[in-house]
Structure 1
Amino acid sequence: MFRKKAIYTFLQAQIAAFLGGITDYGLMIVFTEVLKLHFTFSILISGTVGAIINFSINRFWVFKNQSGYSSPINNQLFKFTLVVLGSITLKSVGTLIFQKVFQVDYRIGRLITDLFVSYGFNYPLIKNWVFKVNEKHNIIESN
């Protein structure tokens, strides 16, 4: 039962990440190609919009059953903001490295970087820190 729930939560989180990510990536292209911003600035702006979408879906759909609303939104939002700042920094630097060092187009470098950042940084921190299960809350509810 626990494993099935963990897989379901992971899949839900991937949907949230996909929706936030597709918004983020699409806006990055628009800001870079249409508005002619440098892609590192585009990532900053688009990442912020994608993060708002991701946070909302995670809080109200993915992790609501695990953490309930016992954890104040301000605490979750603060932690999420720190994760997003780290994520945007890693994505910007990673994309820049792919572009400058390996001569990879920024759009491809961004996709490669996103894979590593999403699974190795974002998901573990969002699940285990931002929306961490409140064990005391779950025990009380299950009785």
Structure 2
Amino acid sequence: MFTKKAILTFLKAQVAAFLGGIADYGLMIVLTEAFKLHFAFSILVSGTVGAIINFSINRFWVFKNQSGYSIPINSQLLKFGLVVLGSISLKSFGTLFLQNAFQIDYRIGRVITDLFVSYGFNYPLIKYWVFRINEKQSVIESN
């Protein structure tokens, strides 16, 4: 059963992902086309910038605790960093695979890869691992 709060959180997370994704994708195009970097390296750089934007929006808007209690940022940054490493790796290899195996332009391959990585990897890990409030924290909040 989906609650109103769960749907709102999902939609807000999609806004965060979209804004980070636009920065990521746009920078990838600029680095690849204007600076002639290989797209796999461009994805590494642009993915890092997009991740910083995404993390900031998620931490301070999407998964912000309404009572003001905040999970320590160091723990979230470490977990988020691991998710980003996995995400960037999947995006780079997925885009490269689609280009080499099917001759799909890297820009289109990246969009296809992003859809799978965003919904099947990033969102579940960000929601249920990076910004998850454990039961001990929930008790503190309810008091």
Q: TM-score, normalised by structure 1?
A: 0.94
Q: Which runs of 5+ in 1 are unaligned?
A: none
Query: Relative to structure 1, is the Cα distance of residues 27 and 34 closer, same or farther in structure 2, using a 3 angstrom cutoff?
Result: same
Residue 3 of structure 1: aligned partner: 3
Task: Return the offset for 1:141.
Answer: 2.5
Counterparts in 2 of 1:126 and 1:68: CA distance versus 1, 3 Å: farther
Q: Give aligned pairs, total.
A: 143
Conserved? CA contact 1:25–1:46, under 8 Å: yes
State how far apart, in whole Å, the 2-side matches of 1:68 and 1:11 are.
Answer: 21
Partner of 1:55: 55
Name the CA distance, whole Å, in 2 between partners of 1:127 and 1:114: 17
With structure 2 as the length reference, what TM-score do the two structures score?
0.94
- Rounded Cα–Cα distance in structure 2 between residues aligned with 1:22 and 1:62: 18
* 1:24-73 per-position Cα deviation (integer Å, ceiling 9, x unaligned): 00000000000000000000000000000000000000001279544210
Query: Structure 1's 115 and 66: CA in aligned 2 closer, same or farther, altered over 3 A?
Result: farther
Q: Which 4+ runs in 1 deviate beyond 4 A?
A: 66-69
Match of 1:140 in 2: 140
Identify unmatched segments of 5+ residues in structure 2. none
User: C-alpha separation between the residues in 1 aligned to 2:105 and 2:114?
Assistant: 14
